[in-house]
Structure 1
Amino acid sequence: MTSETVGFVGVGLMGHGMASNILKAGYPVTVIAHRNRAPVEDLVAKGATEAASMADIAACSIIHICAPGSPQVEAIVSELMPNMTPNAIIVDCSTSDPNSTMALAEGLEAAGFGMADAPLGGTPVQAEAGELATMVGAPDAVFARVKPVIAAWAGAIVHMGPSGAGHKMKLLNNFLAMGYAAMYSEALALSEKVGITTNQFDSVIRGSRMDCGFYQTFMGYAVEGNAEAHKFTLTNALKDMRYLEAMADGVALANPIGNAVKNSFALAHAAGGDGAEDYVPHLVDYVAKRNGVTRG
């Protein structure tokens, strides 16, 4: 039986499935409620313990955090640290600013704790199935300790290097994904504007060399109308592209394409893109509307 105990902050769309699979792997899991009690109640029914406060979470030896971004992660770590046990490890599964991550890791190490950044690749469905991918930034000793727990919820685990490396790679990954979304949205608006329907466009691209898994997910909304084909919000997409921009600025790299992608999401957000309800494939509607195109 493992000696590790797992705390989990953020059992939402992704965190619920992850925590569920950690339970299945035999680890004691402590969770805490935020706004939505349903995931917590489900996990408690499966054997998890509900924390009365963050101090209960801090008593665990490996603590997962799934939060919207760096400001929230920083606040959570600040609340946890006074009550953490010696050698405890924070695993940040959020998509965070690498500069923040490296600063947090340095502070935690100085206080006798560890940190791993383990951002996620995949969907809530894959989270429930234990088939996420993750790219991990952590010192070797920290990675060795957290890897068995991460293996409970991830099918693919890549150790990228020291603290911050996982979040750097995640931003590059999301740059490609959000870049696809921006290009697909603009291409479909232009397609409709010149008299080629979305279905005609799809009939040429699907199955061709330009097809890919992200394309199929994106077109699950554009063609099939599945509003939940890819449950990643416009707000989070914009946040990630801002983090990418900051990462590029930090090494004095010109990133005009990254800026263009960011601005596509910024325009959608400014036009009313709701972080709670509008997902990345919905960008197609905002780009169409901005160009006077009515989608059927």
Structure 2
Amino acid sequence: MKLRRRDVTLPQTLGAIMAQVRVGFVGLGLMGQGMAANIVAKGYPLVVHAHRNRAPVEDLIARGAAEATSLADLARACDVIFLCLSGSPQVTEVVAALKPGLAPGAVLVDCSTSDPVVTESLARDLAAIGVNFADAPLSRTPKEAWAGTLDCMVGATPEVFARIQPIIATWAGKIVHIGGVGDGHRMKLLNNFISLGYAAIYAEAIALSEKVGIPIAALDSVIRGGRMDCGFYQTFMACALEGNRESHRFTISNAYKDLRYLESMANDAKVVTSMASAAKNAFTYAMANGGDGPADYVPHLADFTAKLNGIP
């Protein structure tokens, strides 16, 4: 096994304890790079693996991380491995590649927004070889990932939660142990249903206000600072009102995927989803009309809703 790294000195107060826990990280995208940077900055030995973009890997090596040449090598080098990927198909693929190197007692932590059914299936499969699995999806934005103030909702046994909580605390300001494996992902889907439902409402309200002659600035002046104001509203409106196209860097394609997972969960639970289906359809329209690119973010939904209503 070959690891590439730059030597670093662990903080004196934490090094002796943390040196016993070797952390791996797979998925150095918009959220993952900032999370991984916090892990290594706060004293944990970190091993990463490159996928397509080498820039985050080089940055983390400069901060003190090591690079594994394969996912199996990363698994052999680590006790706890975090995954921050696009969804369940990617998680399943990466787990299969890690599996040959996993030792009994290792922990895999899926920070992606994944299908809870797949999460439980992976957990059962890994338990057969003595490997633990937990789901710890995130809330907030890449800005909070770098600041170490993300929200995290965890599905894990109490014993596994106790092992991973100190590492999660390097990049999360709020950590809630929801329940067993899969419950973190269930809670994340509920969380995203609420936020993406807001996005669909905001986009439609903006279109309607334009149609009836109420400027967006006037709409915002009533909502901002009132009872219906919130952080998500502000990042959404920073795009619609101020033209900041990167105010909330969460893609339309990921939003669409999350609402499909939510709909599947509701179908299994035999719950009517009038509102969730309406929100999903708003994102479906965007996806079908060119909004499926890597730089098409959730606040851009206002553009597609405007187009649907004949607004330039």
Matched, 1:97 2:112: no
Residue 225 of structure 1 aligns to a residue in which SS?
Answer: coil
TM-score normalised to the size of structure 1? 0.98
Within-5 A mapping of 1:1-296: 1=16, 2=18, 3-59=20-76, 60-294=78-312
The Cα shift of 1:79 comes to 1.1
The Cα shift of 1:185 comes to 0.3
CA distance in 2, matches of 1:132, 1:229: 16
The Cα shift of 1:92 comes to 0.3
The Cα shift of 1:275 comes to 3.0
The 8 Å contact of residues 97 and 243 in structure 1, kept in 2 or not, is answered as yes
Structure 2 letter corresponding to 1:31: V
The Cα shift of 1:274 comes to 2.8
Residue 303 of structure 2 aligns to a residue in which SS?
Answer: helix
CA distance in 2, matches of 1:247, 1:213: 27
The Cα shift of 1:35 comes to 1.1
CA distance in 2, matches of 1:208, 1:129: 27
Residue 231 of structure 1 aligns to a residue in which SS?
Answer: coil
CA distance in 2, matches of 1:106, 1:228: 39
Percent sequence identity over aligned pairs: 60
Structure 1 letter corresponding to 2:47: T
Structure 2 letter corresponding to 1:18: M
CA distance in 1, matches of 2:101, 2:48: 16
In the TM superposition, structure 1's runs of 4+ consecutive aligned residues that sit over 4 Å from their partners are none
- How many pairs does the alignment contain? 294
The Cα shift of 1:110 comes to 1.8
The Cα shift of 1:268 comes to 0.6
Deviations 1:221-244 (A, max 9, x none): 000000000000000000000000
Structure 2 unaligned runs (5+)?
Answer: 1-15
The 8 Å contact of residues 236 and 275 in structure 1, kept in 2 or not, is answered as no
Deviations 1:174-226 (A, max 9, x none): 00000000000001101100111111111111111111111001001000000
TM-score normalised to the size of structure 2? 0.93
Residue 134 of structure 1 aligns to a residue in which SS?
Answer: strand
CA distance in 2, matches of 1:204, 1:149: 42
Structure 2 letter corresponding to 1:242: R
The Cα shift of 1:36 comes to 1.0
Deviations 1:154-190 (A, max 9, x none): 1110000000000000000000000000000001101
The 8 Å contact of residues 150 and 171 in structure 2, kept in 1 or not, is answered as yes
Structure 1 letter corresponding to 2:156: A
What RMSD over aligned residues (CA atoms) do the two structures have, in Å? 0.7
CA distance in 2, matches of 1:250, 1:110: 26
The Cα shift of 1:82 comes to 1.6
